């Protein structure tokens, strides 16, 4: 069988076993495209069904989450945890609360997480969880009751050496506090079961900043490797949540010019650049007040485009930091046409499959999410280490760890992804992420 037939057979089996899960198919396809030929050319990995096993989660847990809203109505949501693979460490990955959450999305995220966590070099397996609960417009009391009910069920399946959740879309410091509090109460143990905790109760410095900062460190490494620099570059950012805000903060600190940010209602274009003072307003708007990004225009000059994404604004670098599939084929074409030189994925799988091909054809430097946004889970791993040692490391030490981890991820991508005159960061990340997990799986025999 040639490589094309091998791929077609693998994907048809995956689709048959997981019908209608298009995001899951997309994520596995992207990895299989690089990994099946790699397995084919490395006898040690042959005949072990490694990718088939990696794309069949160890287990999927689904449960009902009932809670009472402020008007006394009973509400019912659905919760899930996908524990994809724990070959190299306890399951680890975020929890997402968003009305779009379904098993296809969580399975793609848990699959990706397995490779991402491997790339960090730290001992963490891959998982993801969440609910179709929509925190928008809910009171603190409603969010608390929902989180407590969610954890009452999930607590049976997680623990510091079993599965360690963290935040993701719709889950930030407030939600982690409620979930960790309920876990502590149910188990009567103060353990490191969550990361992204508050500093007062076992959290790590710079965890909040780590994903966005890490993505910009990845970008810096890529530019340096290609003899370019970040200073003065025009940056398009989508999103205005945890990842987007700290990607913007680091990019501004390093002298780049951030000209767009967005939320689910549209995007702002500030031609002068979003500086530290303007970003402070966005933090206040989006994190504290949970308001719309268009309110930026009440204080600063900018244009607001309702229900649109920022990709038709000419810029040098794109940092998609909102959600999956937010760069379409047409967006990718437009970015290349407008001279975009690098795309670094802060969000998970923000570029559609054909969009990635367009970037590669256009020789755009492209960092896939599993490499680019690994800084967040890396500092989560460091939070786990600090919890186990019952210590708190200094901000300086943690910053150095994060920089080093992103530097190492960049180098692994280069060493496994360098082609004739192009660094294929996707292939590099897929192969480097695969090797560690595959070697551990082989060591265990058939399980
Ligand atoms: P937040 O909830 O803090 O922010 C999400 C941002 O994206 C908000 O601006 C939100 O707009 C926007 N957004 C969410 N969904 C959509 C949508 N369907 N269409 C348009 N805009 C949308 O989440 P994070 O910043 O934590 O996560 C962003 C991305 O980064 C996700 O893909 C996540 O998986 C990934 N990621 C997160 C990590 C972390 O540590 N938090 C680590 C690694 C990756 P609005 O406010 O209007 O909802
Ligand atoms: O997608 C991700 O890497 C995250 N949401 C962070 C996971 C974590 O466990 O810190």
Paired sense of beta strands 234-238 and 163-166, if any: unpaired
Paired sense of beta strands 91-97 and 342-344, if any: unpaired
Q: For the beta carbon of residue 181, count every other beta carbon within 10 angstroms.
A: 16
Which CATH number do you get for residue 333? 3.40.50.720
Q: Is residue 428 part of a domain?
A: no
Output the CA torsion 330→333→339→345 (10° steps).
70
Q: Is residue 141 part of a domain?
A: yes
Q: Among 348, 372, 396, which residue terminates a domain? A: 372
Co-location of 32 and 72 in the same domain: no
Co-location of 71 and 160 in the same domain: yes
Q: What is the DSSP letter of 284?
A: I
Residue 92 sits in which domain range?
A: 59-190
Q: Which atom of ligand 1 is nearest to the CA of 292?
A: 47
The two tokens of residue 295 are 């309110």
Query: How far apart are alpha carbons 316 and 243 in whole angstroms?
Result: 19
Query: How far apart are alpha carbons 368 and 428 in whole angstroms?
Result: 10
Report how many domains make up the chain.
3
Which CATH number do you get for residue 141? 3.40.50.10860
For residue 347, the CA-to-ligand 1 centroid distance in Å is 7
**CB-count exposure of residue 261 (10 Å: 0-12, 13-18, 19+):** buried
Q: Is residue 218 part of a domain?
A: yes
For residue 175, the CA-to-ligand 2 centroid distance in Å is 14
The two tokens of residue 103 are 């098993």
Ligand 1 contact, 241 CB (< 6 A): yes
Catalytic choice (92, 107, 116, 128): 128
Which residue reads 């417009």 in tokens? 137
Question: Quick one: residue 188, left, alpha or beta (phi over 0 = left, psi -120 to 50 = alpha)?
Answer: left
Q: Among 349, 372, 395, which residue terminates a domain? A: 372
pTM: 0.98
pLDDT of residue 421: 87
Residues 6 or more apart whose CB falls under 8 angstroms from that of 278 comprise: 270, 296, 300
Ligand closest to 348 (CA) is 1
For residue 248, the CA-to-ligand 2 centroid distance in Å is 19
Co-location of 139 and 265 in the same domain: no
Q: Which atom of ligand 2 is nearest to the CA of 207?
A: 10
Measure Cα distances from 154 to 77, 79, 165, 192, 267 in Å: 14, 8, 10, 15, 36
Q: Is residue 197 part of a domain?
A: no
Residues 67 and 75 sit within 8 Å (Cβ to Cβ): yes
Of 319, 301, 297, give the one whose Cα is nearest residue 240.
319
Ligand closest to 295 (CA) is 1
Spacing of C-alpha 443 from chain mean position: 29
**CB-count exposure of residue 136 (10 Å: 0-12, 13-18, 19+):** exposed
Residues 6 or more apart whose CB falls under 8 angstroms from that of 428 comprise: 371, 412, 413, 414, 415, 416, 417, 418
Residues 69 and 133 sit within 8 Å (Cβ to Cβ): no
Query: How far apart are alpha carbons 349 and 128 in whole angstroms?
Result: 14
Of 176, 170, 250, 255, give the one whose Cα is nearest residue 211.
250
Ligand 1 contact, 347 CB (< 6 A): yes
Co-location of 251 and 278 in the same domain: yes
For residue 362, the CA-to-ligand 2 centroid distance in Å is 30
Q: Whose C-alpha lies nearest to ligand 1, atom 33?
A: 347
Query: How far apart are alpha carbons 414 and 426 in whole angstroms?
Result: 10
**CB-count exposure of residue 90 (10 Å: 0-12, 13-18, 19+):** buried
Q: Whose C-alpha lies nearest to ligand 1, atom 27?
A: 169
pLDDT of residue 3: 84
Q: Is residue 407 part of a domain?
A: no
Pocket of ligand 2 (CB under 6 A): 92-94, 113, 116, 166, 168, 195, 348, 373, 376-377, 380
Co-location of 22 and 118 in the same domain: no
Co-location of 105 and 252 in the same domain: no
> Any idea what the Cα angle at residue 242 is, between residues 389 and 136, rounded to 5°?
115
Which residue reads 């979003």 in tokens? 274
For residue 108, the CA-to-ligand 2 centroid distance in Å is 13
How would you list the strands of the sheet with 59-68, edge to edge? 59-68, 74-85, 126-131, 91-97, 163-166
How would you list the strands of the sheet with 234-238, edge to edge? 303-306, 266-269, 257-263, 234-238, 317-320, 342-344, 365-367
Of 331, 285, 282, give the one whose Cα is nearest residue 308.
331
The two tokens of residue 416 are 């496994």
Q: Whose C-alpha lies nearest to ligand 1, atom 3?
A: 241
Q: Whose C-alpha lies nearest to ligand 1, atom 5?
A: 241
Q: Is residue 135 part of a domain?
A: yes
Co-location of 47 and 66 in the same domain: no
For residue 369, the CA-to-ligand 1 centroid distance in Å is 13
Q: Is residue 417 part of a domain?
A: no
Ligand closest to 286 (CA) is 1
Q: Among 54, 75, 97, which residue terminates a domain? A: 54
pLDDT of residue 277: 98
Query: How far apart are alpha carbons 406 and 215 in whole angstroms?
Result: 8
For residue 168, the CA-to-ligand 1 centroid distance in Å is 7
Query: How far apart are alpha carbons 430 and 113 in whole angstroms?
Result: 11
Co-location of 279 and 142 in the same domain: no
Ligand closest to 211 (CA) is 1
pLDDT of residue 2: 83
Query: How far apart are alpha carbons 164 and 95 in whole angstroms?
Result: 10
Helices assigned H by DSSP within 18-98: 22-40, 50-54
Query: How far apart are alpha carbons 346 and 372 in whole angstroms?
Result: 6
For the chain, the straight-line distance linking the first and the last C-alpha, in angstroms and rounded, comes to: 27
Co-location of 216 and 95 in the same domain: no
Ligand closest to 99 (CA) is 1
- What is the residue-level pLDDT of the chain in tens, covering all 447 positions? 788 899 999 999 999 999 999 999 999 999 999 999 999 999 999 999 999 999 999 999 999 999 999 999 999 999 999 999 999 999 999 999 999 999 999 999 999 999 999 999 999 999 999 999 999 999 999 999 999 999 999 999 999 999 999 999 999 999 999 999 999 999 999 999 999 999 999 999 999 999 999 999 999 999 999 999 999 999 999 999 999 999 999 999 999 999 999 999 999 999 999 999 999 999 999 999 999 999 999 999 999 999 999 999 999 999 999 999 999 999 999 999 999 999 999 999 999 999 999 999 999 999 999 999 999 999 999 999 999 999 999 999 999 999 999 999 999 999 999 999 899 999 999 999 999 999 999 999 998
Ligand 1 contact, 175 CB (< 6 A): no
User: Is 128 annotated as catalytic?
Assistant: yes
Q: Which atom of ligand 1 is nearest to the CA of 265?
A: 47
Co-location of 186 and 238 in the same domain: no
* 135: three-class secondary structure by DSSP: coil
pLDDT of residue 101: 98
Q: Is residue 215 part of a domain?
A: yes
Q: Which residue among 171, 216, 238, 263 has the greatest number of ligand 1 atoms within 8 angstroms of its CB, and so is best to mutate?
A: 263
Co-location of 222 and 175 in the same domain: no
The two tokens of residue 12 are 């048809």
Co-location of 15 and 107 in the same domain: no
Q: Which atom of ligand 1 is nearest to the CA of 373?
A: 43
Ligand 1 contact, 99 CB (< 6 A): no
Query: How far apart are alpha carbons 7 and 51 in whole angstroms?
Result: 11
Q: Whose C-alpha lies nearest to ligand 1, atom 37?
A: 168
């Amino acid at each position: 069988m040639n490589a094309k037939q091998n791929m077609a057979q693998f994907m048809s089996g995956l689709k048959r076993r997981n019908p209608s899960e298009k995001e899951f198919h997309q994520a596995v396809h992207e990895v299989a495209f690089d990994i099946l030929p790699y397995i084919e050319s490395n006898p040690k990995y042959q005949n072990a069904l490694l990718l088939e096993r990696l794309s069949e989660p160890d287990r999927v847990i689904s449960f009902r989450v009932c809670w009472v809203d402020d008007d006394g109505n009973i509400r019912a949501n659905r919760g899930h945890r996908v524990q994809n693979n724990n070959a190299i460490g306890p399951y680890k990955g975020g929890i997402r609360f968003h009305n779009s959450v379904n098993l296809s999305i969580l399975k793609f995220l848990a699959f990706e997480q397995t490779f991402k966590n491997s790339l960090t070099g730290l001992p963490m397996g891959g998982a993801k969880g969440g609910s179709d609960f929509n925190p928008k417009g809910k009171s603190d009391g409603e969010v608390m009751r929902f989180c407590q009910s969610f954890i009452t069920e999930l607590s049976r399946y997680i623990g510091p050496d079993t599965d360690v959740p963290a935040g993701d879309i719709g889950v930030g410091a407030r939600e982690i506090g409620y979930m960790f509090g309920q876990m502590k109460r149910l188990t009567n143990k103060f353990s490191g079961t969550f990361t992204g905790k508050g500093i007062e109760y076992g959290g790590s410095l710079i965890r909040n900043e780590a994903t966005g900062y890490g993505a910009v460190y990845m970008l810096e490494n890529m530019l340096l490797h290609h003899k370019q620099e970040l200073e003065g570059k025009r940056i398009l950012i989508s999103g205005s949540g945890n990842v987007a805000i700290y990607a913007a903060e680091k990019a501004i600190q390093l002298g780049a010019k951030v000209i767009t940010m967005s939320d689910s209602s549209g995007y702002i274009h500030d031609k002068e650049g979003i500086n530290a003072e303007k970003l402070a307003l966005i933090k206040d708007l989006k994190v504290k007040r949970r308001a719309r990004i268009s309110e930026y225009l009440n204080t600063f000059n900018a244009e607001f485009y309702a229900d649109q994404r920022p990709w038709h604004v000419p810029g040098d670098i794109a940092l998609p930091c909102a959600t999956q599939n937010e760069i379409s084929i047409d967006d990718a074409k437009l970015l290349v046409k407008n001279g975009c030189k690098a795309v670094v994925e802060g969000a998970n799988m923000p570029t559609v499959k054909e969009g990635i091909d367009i970037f590669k054809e256009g020789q755009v430097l492209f960092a896939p999410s599993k490499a680019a946004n690994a800084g967040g889970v890396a500092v989560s791993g460091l939070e786990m280490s600090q919890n186990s040692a019952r210590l708190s490391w200094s901000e300086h030490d943690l910053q150095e760890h994060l920089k080093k981890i992103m530097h190492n991820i960049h180098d692994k991508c280069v060493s496994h992804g360098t082609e004739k005159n192009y660094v294929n960061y996707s292939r590099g990340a897929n192969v480097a992420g695969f090797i560690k997990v595959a070697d551990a799986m082989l060591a265990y025999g058939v399980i």
